[in-house]
């Protein structure tokens, strides 16, 4: 039997933390804490399998509408986790990159991301992209505005606009598009996540809540991916 095809880049919509906690009569923040443990398992397993990029949808631009106590808890959890996991990430050669609107983040959160990126910038292992304060539509509008500035300054002409130029202004520039997108908790939608980048990604949905998503769950998704035929619009096998 031949070697199974692995995705180079896997993106995760980590869903179900709140429902996981509710099912156990726990506060929602307990679900988010359990979700961090699941994320650590996913990063380790991805590194072991040789996957080069993992991107997680950690906090959307719409998540600010959640109750203030939950938002505050998520931010504190992020800062604590980033500081606590530095040594392990560095030891495992993981490189961290934030994708999202950095300017409007609280200072302590922005500082945590900046320190993580700085301390891991020379690592050559798995690249761990954290989509935080991220919304795909806002990302696309950002790219459009940057290109409009080039046209307005007569740096480029309209005919010079192509996909490569457009992508150079996305938060994911220099990152290959996801091969596989996994969403947990039974929800079957994309929720404004990497809409440009996942044009030809394989989608995988599971009813498993994110805190319960373990190595076995992950391998099941990878196995299904390896059995799919990706043609990118052509008829070639």
Which residues does the annotation mark as catalytic?
A: 15, 63
Contact 134, 55 (CB under 8 A): no
Residue that has been written with the tokens 């998520």 in this structure: 74
Rounded Cα–Cα distance for residues 183 and 89 (Å): 24
């Amino acid at each position: 039997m031949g070697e199974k095809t692995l995705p180079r880049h896997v993106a995760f919509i980590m869903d179900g933390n709140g429902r996981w906690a509710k099912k156990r009569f726990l506060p929602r923040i307990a679900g988010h804490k359990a979700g961090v443990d699941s994320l650590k398992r996913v990063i380790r397993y991805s590194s072991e399998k040789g996957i080069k990029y993992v991107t997680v949808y950690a906090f959307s631009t719409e998540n600010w509408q959640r109750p203030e106590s939950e938002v505050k808890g998520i931010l504190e959890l992020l800062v604590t986790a980033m500081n606590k996991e530095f040594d392990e990430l560095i030891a495992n050669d993981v490189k961290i990159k934030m994708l999202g609107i950095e300017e409007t983040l609280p200072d302590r959160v922005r500082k945590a991301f900046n320190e993580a990126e700085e301390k891991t910038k020379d690592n050559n292992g798995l690249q761990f992209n954290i989509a935080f304060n991220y919304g795909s539509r806002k990302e696309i509008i950002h790219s459009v505005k940057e290109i409009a500035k080039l046209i307005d300054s007569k740096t480029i002409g309209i005919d010079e606009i192509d996909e490569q130029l457009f992508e150079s202004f996305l938060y994911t520039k220099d990152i290959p598009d996801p091969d596989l997108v996994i969403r947990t908790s039974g929800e079957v939608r994309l929720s404004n996540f990497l809409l440009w980048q996942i044009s030809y990604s394989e989608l995988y949905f599971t009813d498993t809540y994110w805190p319960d998503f373990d190595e076995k769950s992950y391998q099941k998704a990878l196995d299904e991916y390896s059995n799919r035929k990706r043609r990118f619009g052509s008829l070639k096998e």
